[in-house]
Structure 1
């Protein structure tokens, strides 16, 4: 495995791809210019790669102790120093790309980045871990609206929906590693809630996200349809999550993509 592949595997590629797709979808929904869409995609991708790699840098010792040979940094395939430098360069690159769009996009990108890095460095094991996702995801729509000819903060509906979706993703993302995290002394909000609490949280947050989307879009039919999907997916997350935490996370991310697709097709009314 070469260094580039190792770093990509360390970046938590699944969540990175989904969040980048969300950023791109929001850019299309905002009707941003093609160049702006490309810049938003690149900025969010670099942002999420940075956060993901930094997470594995911080967790390297714990992953090594747990025998996680699937983690390239813990396995020694790539050094912590090289990974940290890469994460910092990607963070700087993300901010530089956002800065070419507008101050609004730069601040929003910085909030998303700050939320991820604070989670990695300090708040992963604290009840306040949820705040990192709430703040970071709430800022995501404003990266898109900050790229418009007249940059502005995204509408309240989009901001609330994104924040709720981020919290649902946080609860679902931890499910596959819940037992290992507890054994390692990680006591963030999901670990304190436990598997049942996380699944119930997701079952509540997904419909709430759909409702925020529908209300913010003024009852647009596509937004209502997406909200219905989110409501129907809620019990499915609980059922799937009892058997597979990873399956529950994938289902939550799938609903997220449906919501953004509806937003794109609705013509960005929510933004």
Structure 2
């Protein structure tokens, strides 16, 4: 990466939470631990529900976790200049709790570990997972600032069911509804994730699809994509919807209406974001409920 890391780090003002940096804690915080763990646990649970044994579940979980860690560290490293300019005191690279070189090395090590873990789960399944990881890296490395910012999310989430089912005996492709629901969930998660920081991103020169749409239309995009994922997960699989499916769909519909109509459309408003995240939780629950029928 064409950046003089030491000079960049030493020349910029830094913010401290305490008197001394805690490198390991800073490295942990820089990996975006919450989403990394959520996606890894989801992949492991889907693998278990699909019928794989303990070894397969462990490999799937480690593959996804290492991939997500690499993406998180890559994101904070690439965004360092922008985060410094924005005074992001929640970022350990900005506060000086960890050096840029350490984050770069961590991202590379995690990415390298992701390859054998992924291929160990299955050659075809592992290759599909690595394509999803590559899509996430492409987002960090520039696609996030283009009108196609939604595409890496759609690819990564849409391929997750395939990465699970292609590791099963016979290497079956996932059902079309599972891929579509995953892609919609990814697009909705992208729009919802950007929503709280949309003005700051625009000021920093990030011109992804949500920033081009603006806060109001991005809110609608997030809700429509996430609720559409709910509907696909309820009606896509064969068989009766069942009481749980109808209840989940009704709950998602109520959250969708609230997210669109709720106040908080100004800068910093988090109510629509939280409502959208609640719909995403419903979608994840539905995906797990359908986990045994992915293929």
Q: Select which of 217, 222, 229 maps to 1:197.
A: 217
Please, which of 130, 140, 165 is the counterpart of residue 120 of structure 1? 140
Is 1:106 the equivalent of 2:126?
yes
Following the alignment from structure 1 to structure 2, what is the Cα–Cα distance between the partners of residues 28 and 257?
Answer: 19
Corresponding residue of 2:252: 230
> Which is worse superposed, 253-262 or 65-74?
253-262
Residue ranges of structure 1 left out of the alignment (5+ in a row) = none
Alignment TM-score, normalising by the size of structure 1: 0.91
Q: CA RMSD in A?
A: 2.1
Q: Work out the CA distance in 2 between the residues paired with 1:188 and 1:119.
A: 10
Aligned length: 271
State the match for 1:62 in structure 2.
82
- Per-residue CA distance 1:84-122 (angstroms, 9 max, x = gap): 111111112122111011122212211221111000001
What is residue 162 of structure 2 aligned with on the other side? 142
Please say which structure displays the higher CA radius of gyration: 2
- Per-residue deviation, 1:42: 1.6
Give the superposition deviation at 1:41: 1.5
Unpaired runs of 5+ residues, structure 2, are 1-20
Q: How does 1:29-40 map to 2 (within 5 A)?
A: 29-40=49-60
The answer to whether the 8 Å contact 1:116/1:136 transfers is yes
Q: Partner residue of 2:31?
A: 11
Cα distance, 1:84–1:152 mapped onto 2, change above 3 Å: farther
**Contact persistence 2:227–2:279 (CA under 8 A):** no
Which shows bigger deviation, 119-128 or 67-76? 67-76
Displacement of 1:178 in angstroms is: 1.0
Aligned to 1:209: 229
> Following the alignment from structure 1 to structure 2, what is the Cα–Cα distance between the partners of residues 257 and 268?
19
Cα distance, 1:236–1:13 mapped onto 2, change above 3 Å? farther
Deviations 1:124-177 (A, max 9, x none): 111111111111111111121123233232211000000000000000001121
CA deviation map 1:63-83 (0-9, x unaligned) = 111111221112222121211
Q: Which moved more, 1:69-78 or 1:168-177?
A: 69-78
Report 1 or 2 for greater relative contact order, CA contacts < 8 Å, sequence distance ≥ 6: 1
> Residue 285 of structure 2 corresponds to which residue in structure 1?
261
For residues 237-256 of structure 1, the aligned pairs below 5 Å read: 237-238=259-260, 239=262, 242=265, 246-256=270-280
How far the C-alpha of 1:46 sits from its partner, in A, is: 1.3
Give distance in 1, aligned partners of 2:123 and 2:199: 42
Q: Distance in 2 between matches of 1:248 and 1:110?
A: 33
Structure 1 range deviating more: 194-203 or 74-83: 74-83
Partners of 1:51 and 1:185 in 2: CA distance = 21
TM-score scaled by structure 2? 0.84
